[in-house]
Amino acid sequence: MKTLVLSMISIAATVAAMTACTSEGDPIDNIDNGQPVEIKASAGIGEIITKTAGVITEGTNIENIEFIKTEKETLPTDWSTETLTPIDATITSADGLKFSAPQYYNPIATIQSHLIGYHPKTEGGGTRNNNVVTYTITGQEDIMCTDIKSGNKKDNITKKLDFTFDHQLAQYTFKIQAADQQAVTTWGKITSIKLIGQQTAATLTLNTKALAFTGDSNGEITVGTDKTGFDTTDPVNNPIAFGSPIMVQPNQTDMKVKVTTEKNPEGIEVPLTVASVVSTSYIVTLTFKATEIGATATIGEWLTGTGSGDVQ
């Protein structure tokens, strides 16, 4: 009898060890034994190379990210009627993309989890109503959105969903230079540059990545208001950066800035001829002459674009 009991204990221990090995050692078996399968994800930032104020680049730590998730066998056609689960997330150089809490696929293997990420969640007055986010653009919001990524517990148990946050605005960096020493004396220091005639209300439809601007075109985007002088040693050939880079509505054809200076506080409107393309960075150089301001634009280091303008 003693031998039989010991044998039964030995068999039970062996079975327990096999069960533990099955549930913890082989993730594929999670499908069959009902254990949850965690949603793993990675993320990169779309075509930006340089880090500037307000602008998000690869390698930048990013907070204020939100994902929305819905679960269906097939990709939804109308996200406005879906039941969406919000998920906060961050991106850091140390951890990559990290959800605020672990996320799991539906226990039914045929049900897909469909996810979209966007940034910012609240900056610019960001307010989400189901699949549409409303913003008030100030020029410092780098609005980004991902494509839809889908997966279920069976197909994605050993791989990650790979997201790319694509920029939805165009970026402008302004520089000032003088045509000659007479222009330096004529204008004095630059006191303000503002992009005028702007629509500042915008809505981002997440499932289509469509950013739409609405309302009157009478808004202003401030580039800078700090008094800035031309380069004292070479005002002609050494443009000086003015203000901060701004991110604004792309695909604009008739753009203007209002420039004020110490000697001209009333301000002058300067037209910009720029093919404003989404996710593109422009360096706009304002050249001050004794009688006018000329504007040219070259491509920065997001994507590329050119433009120019003159004002009497």
pLDDT in single tens digits along all 312 residues of the chain: 333 333 333 333 333 333 333 333 444 444 455 678 888 877 776 654 333 345 666 667 889 999 999 999 999 999 999 999 999 999 988 888 999 999 999 999 899 999 999 999 999 999 999 999 999 999 999 999 999 999 998 887 777 899 999 999 999 999 999 999 999 999 999 999 999 999 999 999 999 999 999 999 999 999 999 999 999 899 999 999 999 999 999 999 889 999 999 999 999 999 987 778 898 888 899 999 988 777 766 655 555 443 333 322
Structure token pair of residue 220: 């202003």
- Pairwise CA distance, residues 102 & 83, whole Å: 19
pLDDT for 301: 53
Burial of 68 (0-12, 13-18, 19+ CB in 10 A): buried
- Give the DSSP H/E element, type plus range, for residue 161: strand 161-167
pLDDT for 36: 85
pLDDT for 298: 63
Alpha-carbon separation of residue 3 from 7, 8, 17, 91 (angstroms): 6, 9, 21, 60
- Give the DSSP H/E element, type plus range, for residue 98: strand 96-99
Task: For 250, list phi and psi in degrees, rounded to 5.
Answer: -80, 175
Task: For 287, list phi and psi in degrees, rounded to 5.
Answer: -105, 115
- Pairwise CA distance, residues 180 & 207, whole Å: 52
pLDDT for 7: 34
Query: What's the predicted TM-score (pTM) here?
Result: 0.81
